[in-house]
Amino acid sequence: MITLYGWGPMFDCPSPSPFVMKADIQLQMLGVDFTRAIADLDAVPKHKAPYVIDDGQLIEDSNFIRIHFETKLGKGLYDGFSGKDIALSWALERMAEGQLAKIMAYERWMKDDNFNKGPAQFFIDVPAPARPVVLKEVREGVAASHMGEGTGRFTEAERMQLADWDIGAIALQLGEQDYLLGEAPTCADAAVAAVLIACATEFFDTPLSGLVHKHPNLVAYIDRMKARYFAHAAWPAWPAAMTEPA
């Protein structure tokens, strides 16, 4: 039995995490028969999702989930690719995840209104008297992480310029194609589309949504990927605590 652990629809996205979306798509691309379950971050060493349990074996991180099943199945998402295609695919993934996803996360976690309507909901089960202290400590940790890797050192205008360049490059690569490398979806689409979906949601007050929506080909691409991979994705209901107002 194979189970993908993460989170289902939230923030008008198939998952609040682009990395959970990515893993979900890649498992589908590989033809893996799996179920979905709500993650328990305290139960796994890396304390993050997605993770998979495959007949008792724990695999953490979307990239290692993919390689686990490619090895197990004897087929890979790069099969049939040229060396240049592999390099382009990996570069697109790294651009989306290495910078754009971090800017998206900053918008959600570091802007008060966005945090209060979004990520704060992850802590609704913390007892009310302790919750302000917990939220303050968590946000301070996130802020320190952003400062450490550099995103937090830019002004908002600089972050949006960097995001605009990334999003514009993705739009140029996509062009009039249905998918990033042609007429069929590939592993690059799993990662890039997941990050674009997270950026494009209008649930949050962020310029990122407008930066995506100004490219009609990206809007159509997001709709195409969501229809193909998430129209029938079945996640368990969120715990009651997660659906109560803050």
pLDDT per position as a tens digit, 57-80: 999 999 999 999 999 999 999 999
Mean per-residue pLDDT for 9-16?
96
Nearest to 34 by CA among 3, 70, 64, 65: 3
pLDDT at residue 24 greater than cutoff 90: yes
Nearest to 48 by CA among 36, 65, 60: 60
Residue at token pair 């950026």? 199
**Taking the domains of the chain in order of start, what are their residue ranges?**
2-78+232-243, 83-229
Q: Is the peptide bond before 245 cis (omega within 30 degrees of 0)?
A: no
Nearest to 167 by CA among 104, 119, 230, 106: 104
pLDDT in tens, 106-162: 999 999 999 999 999 999 889 999 999 999 999 999 999 999 999 999 999 999 999
The model carries a pTM of: 0.94
pLDDT at residue 192 greater than cutoff 70: yes
pLDDT at residue 245 greater than cutoff 50: no
Nearest to 197 by CA among 74, 96, 52: 96
Using 50, 70 and 90 to split pLDDT, how confident is the model at 238?
confident
What is the residue type of 200? A
Nearest to 191 by CA among 6, 5, 14, 18: 18
Residue at token pair 């028969």? 33
Mean per-residue pLDDT for 220-228?
98
Q: How many CB atoms lie within 10 A of CB 190?
A: 25
The CATH superfamily assigned to 2-78+232-243 is Glutaredoxin (3.40.30.10)
Q: What is the mean pLDDT of the chain?
A: 95
Nearest to 200 by CA among 107, 117, 120: 107
Q: Do the domains 83-229 and 2-78+232-243 match in fold?
A: no
Q: How many CB atoms lie within 10 A of CB 181?
A: 18
Mean per-residue pLDDT for 92-112?
97
| DSSP bridge pairs for 54 | 2, 57
Using 50, 70 and 90 to split pLDDT, how confident is the model at 239?
low
Q: Which two tokens stand for residue 232?
A: 């029938």
What pLDDT is recorded for position 222?
Answer: 98
What pLDDT is recorded for position 246?
Answer: 28
Q: What is the CATH number of domain 83-229?
A: 1.20.1050.10
pLDDT at residue 243 greater than cutoff 60: no
Output b/e per residue, 168-178; b: 16+ Cβ within 10 A.
eebbebbeeeb
- What is the C-alpha to C-alpha distance for residues 165 and 153, in angstroms, rounded to an integer? 18
3-state helix, strand, coil in the chain (%, to 5): 60, 10, 30
Q: Please calculate the CA angle 142-160-193 and round it to the nearest 5 degrees.
A: 80
pLDDT at residue 173 greater than cutoff 90: yes
What pLDDT is recorded for position 220?
Answer: 98
What is the residue type of 73? L
Is residue 75 within 8 Å of 67, Cβ to Cβ? no
**Percent above pLDDT 70 for the chain:** 97
